[in-house]
Amino acid sequence: MLTDTKTKAPGLADLPPVQSDALLALIAMCDADPREHKIDVGVGVFRDGAGNTPILQVMKQAEQRLVDTQKTKAYLGTGGDKRFAELLRPILLGPHAGDERIAGLQTPGGCGALRLGFELIATVNPRARVLVGTPTWPNHPPIIKATRLEVSEYPYYERGQGIIRFDEMIAALQNGEPGDVALLHGCCHNPTGADLGEEQWDEVIQVVAERGLIPFIDIAYQGFGRGLEEDAYGVRLALDSCDEVIIAQSCDKNFSVYRDRVGSLFVKTGSKSATATAMAHVGQRAREMWSMPPDHGAAAVHIILEDRELADRWIVELAAMRDRINDVRQRIASADPRLAYIGRQFGMFSMLPLSKEQVVQLREHEAIYMADSGRFNVVGMGDDQLDRFIASVAGALGN
Ligand SMILES: Cc1ncc(COP(=O)(O)O)c(C=O)c1O
């Protein structure tokens, strides 16, 4: 028998370098900066007026109750905490909460829900294209490509003018083929803050339904924009109009439990039995990837939503986060007419019309850290840093 002794099998030392995630690299760069007055508006977490990301009081109480009352940590199954997913239904699905053609399960954060939802599409139709707006959250394309589905971009936002490229978006969706997937941000668009208005949603979902596209709605910031109900407008409209809908949801921001990885995936098909089959596939894919989602964060959210008093307190704490986001937006918008559009946008992120060179200069000269695209977190800084931030951005924009 002939064996080739010259060619050696690749070893781990042969791995090529990885292009590091730009946002994670930015966080590391900021952490390493010794300048005390540095401003970190690159990171994607809510910060209060003092510049902290506190644990919600209601969450602290729920966690304490969990520690005191939990009797076992035995396995729960691929779908995690079933009651957690049930309790989310009225919040997310509203009038559709009782629809038996919709089923949901717990996932490791919104990322886990996205991956699982695209795995489901890839299982049923590996040739489906996923229509993705540009710009979008930078982790969307890698998650989709990991399932081997093709990404097809549609124009979404014009950064110079701060407006949605709505006609181009509609034209691109009209070119979608039946079975293609339209990825849409439920609210608080990341990275632009430019949300579809209700009439725009109406038109988008009408085209999606007419073309036979599957709406895939990523809703990671429900309650951070206009309110819990208002922010679910697109989700509910898609459920009104389409037989097949996928929703990737995250509790990581609105319960402020980022590292605990709390999310869910909801799937709607045309019948209860088809949904049951789809969920069996979803469970199988989950089993292959992470087997079961982590319990702690979802168990604490479960405790909050199950208890009327705690749930009401969560709504109050959530409203306080939303009010701060919208208040900072108004303060930035009123400081400079060139930033007025920021007051009409929603959620934690907006984009500044800065070149990459200007972003680098702000970093080097002012210790202000934001993504190269000009995306910044409006609540990434404490109140004491806001005036300097606005003055520095105005300076970078020139006269
Ligand atoms: C648009 C969007 N979708 C999903 C996620 C994922 O959230 P999670 O941390 O729950 O995985 C994020 C997080 O930044 C996001 O911005």
* Residue 231 tokens, joined: 């922010």
Q: Are 304 and 314 in contact (CB under 8 A)?
A: yes
Query: Average pLDDT in the 151-172 region?
Result: 96
Query: Average pLDDT in the 306-332 region?
Result: 98
Nearest CA to ligand 1 atom 7: 110
Q: Are 123 and 116 in contact (CB under 8 A)?
A: no
pTM equals 0.96
Q: Are 374 and 352 in contact (CB under 8 A)?
A: yes
- Please pick, among 231, 248, 253, 298, the residue that the annotation labels catalytic: 253
Q: What percent of the chain has pLDDT over 90?
A: 93
pLDDT at 229 over 90: yes
pLDDT tens-place string over residues 111-142? 999 999 999 999 999 999 999 999 999 999 99
pLDDT at 4 over 90: no
pLDDT at 1 over 60: no
What integer pLDDT is reported at residue 43 of this predicted model?
Answer: 87
Amino acid type, 394: A
Q: What is the pLDDT of the chain when averaged over all its residues?
A: 96
Query: Average pLDDT in the 333-339 region?
Result: 95
pLDDT at 22 over 90: no
pLDDT category at 263 given cuts 50, 70, 90 is very high
Contacts of 172 (CB under 8 A, 6+ apart): 131, 154, 155
Residue 39 Cβ inside 6 Å of ligand 1? The answer reads no
What integer pLDDT is reported at residue 18 of this predicted model?
Answer: 86
Residue 186 Cβ inside 6 Å of ligand 1? The answer reads no
Active site residue 218: yes
**Residue 151 β-bridge partners:** 130
Query: Average pLDDT in the 6-32 region?
Result: 87
Of the residues 218, 254, 349, which should be mutated to test ligand 1's pocket, given the most ligand atoms within 8 Å of the CB?
218
Give CA separation, 138 vs 24, 219, 371, 375, in Å: 11, 15, 11, 11
77 Ramachandran zone, left/alpha/beta (phi>0; psi -120 to 50): left
- 235: CA distance to ligand 1 center in Å? 16
Rounded to whole angstroms, the Cα distance separating 361 from 146 reads 35
Identify the three-state secondary structure at position 286.
helix
- Please pick, among 113, 122, 220, 396, the residue that the annotation labels catalytic: 220
Rounded to whole angstroms, the Cα distance separating 300 from 352 reads 37
Please choose, from the candidates 351, 378, 373, 379, the residue with its C-alpha nearest in 3D space to the C-alpha of residue 360. Answer: 373
Q: Are 117 and 265 in contact (CB under 8 A)?
A: yes
What integer pLDDT is reported at residue 347 of this predicted model?
Answer: 98
- Ligand 1 atom at minimum distance from 112 CA: 11
Rounded to whole angstroms, the Cα distance separating 210 from 244 reads 13
Give alpha helix (H) positions in the chain: 22-32, 57-69, 82-93, 109-124, 140-146, 166-174, 198-211, 233-241, 272-289, 296-306, 308-335, 356-366, 383-397
Quote the DSSP letter at residue 88.
Answer: H
Please choose, from the candidates 247, 268, 298, the residue with its C-alpha nearest in 3D space to the C-alpha of residue 87. Answer: 298
Quote the DSSP letter at residue 368.
Answer: E
174 Ramachandran zone, left/alpha/beta (phi>0; psi -120 to 50): alpha
What integer pLDDT is reported at residue 188 of this predicted model?
Answer: 98
Q: How far is CA 222 from the centre of its chain?
A: 10
Rounded to whole angstroms, the Cα distance separating 180 from 262 reads 28
Contacts of 353 (CB under 8 A, 6+ apart): 159, 160, 162, 338, 374, 397
DSSP-derived secondary structure for 150-162: EEEEEE-EETTTT
Please choose, from the candidates 319, 225, 107, 129, the residue with its C-alpha nearest in 3D space to the C-alpha of residue 201. Answer: 225
pLDDT at 5 over 70: no
Of the residues 26, 114, 139, 255, which should be mutated to test ligand 1's pocket, given the most ligand atoms within 8 Å of the CB?
139
pLDDT category at 230 given cuts 50, 70, 90 is very high
pLDDT at 297 over 80: yes
Residue 260 Cβ inside 6 Å of ligand 1? The answer reads no
**Residue 211 β-bridge partners:** none
CA-derived radius of gyration, the chain: 22
pLDDT at 2 over 70: no
pLDDT category at 27 given cuts 50, 70, 90 is confident
Query: Average pLDDT in the 187-214 region?
Result: 98
Find tokens 């007025």 and name the residue. Answer: 340
Please count the other Cβ atoms lying within 10 Å of the Cβ belonging to residue 325: 22
- 248: CA distance to ligand 1 center in Å? 9
pLDDT at 3 over 60: no
DSSP-derived secondary structure for 126-192: TT-EEEEEES--TTHHHHHHHTTPEEEEEE-EETTTTEE-HHHHHHHHHTPPTT-EEEEE-SS-TTT
Rounded to whole angstroms, the Cα distance separating 385 from 388 reads 6
- 51: CA distance to ligand 1 center in Å? 21
Higher pLDDT, 342 or 2: 342
Query: Average pLDDT in the 229-249 region?
Result: 98
- 392: CA distance to ligand 1 center in Å? 29
- 223: CA distance to ligand 1 center in Å? 14
What integer pLDDT is reported at residue 20 of this predicted model?
Answer: 76
